[in-house]
Amino acid sequence: MRIQEAIVVEGRYDKAALAGVVDTLILETAGFGVFKDGERLAFLRKLAEKRGLIVLTDSDGAGFVIRNYLKGAIPKDQLKHAYIPDVYGKERRKKAPGREGKLGVEGMPPEVLRQALLRAGATVLDGDAPDRPQGNLTPADLFALGLSGTPDAAQRRGLLLKRLDLPEHMSAKALLAALNALYTPGELTQILSF
């Protein structure tokens, strides 16, 4: 699948796994290395401005730290977020699972990676991009649904994240962005009537 946007991942094994799925420029953050590498960040900003950037990090806490750093460093309209599901296990090359016991980008099957990119709104250049009108949920909608601002909001969000196969570390704000980016208004109505 050829896409317009460049993709940023955490490391070389993630890059290798993704290279078999998508034809585009794939860059690494070198894990937390991007925090101290001004040149790398400047390059990511330039790519985001020219062709758009998709962030595809692991669904563990470290992946979300990197994702949130990039979210704060690159203009929102130039950045898309692809999420992999929480799948417990270990990658073949590792002796033991990671701290949270979840598979990272490198451990995901190719079709899961492809679908994550499509759901994020990747601009497919070879004609098989789905035409998906975006949802229009607001923070007030999440509050009304009990997904933010209530005593049991975190628990309800957790159940919804699990049901949608999204990472458990997503905040209410990240959930709102993901729902609006991944689902049509009709799909959102069905999903949120639980």
Counted residue by residue, the chain has a size of 194
Find the farthest-apart pair of alpha carbons in the chain and give their distance in angstroms, rounded. 47
CA-closest candidate to residue 9, choices 49, 79, 58, 78: 58
Chain mean pLDDT for the chain:
88
Mean pLDDT of 77-98: 91
* Digit-coded pLDDT (tens) for 7-58: 999 999 999 999 999 999 999 999 999 999 988 898 999 999 999 999 999 9
Boundaries of every domain in the chain: 6-119, 139-192
**Percentage of the chain exceeding pLDDT 90:** 56
Residue 1 has a CB neighbour count (10 Å cut-off) of 16
- Cα separation, 80 vs 58, in Å, equals 15
The residue ranges of DSSP E strands in 15-91, in sequence order, are 26-28, 53-55, 79-81
The residue ranges of DSSP E strands in 33-155, in sequence order, are 53-55, 79-81
- Residue 111 three-state SS: helix
Q: Which fold has domain 6-119?
A: Dna Topoisomerase Vi A Subunit; Chain: A, domain 2 (3.40.1360)
* pLDDT higher than threshold 60 for residue 133: no
Q: Could you tell me the pLDDT band of residue 129, with boundaries at 50, 70 and 90?
A: very low
Q: Tell me, what's the pLDDT at 164? A: 82
DSSP label at 147? S
Name the residue with higher pLDDT: 194 or 20: 20
- Cα separation, 67 vs 52, in Å, equals 15
**Is the distance from CB of 66 to CB of 32 less than 8 angstroms?**
yes
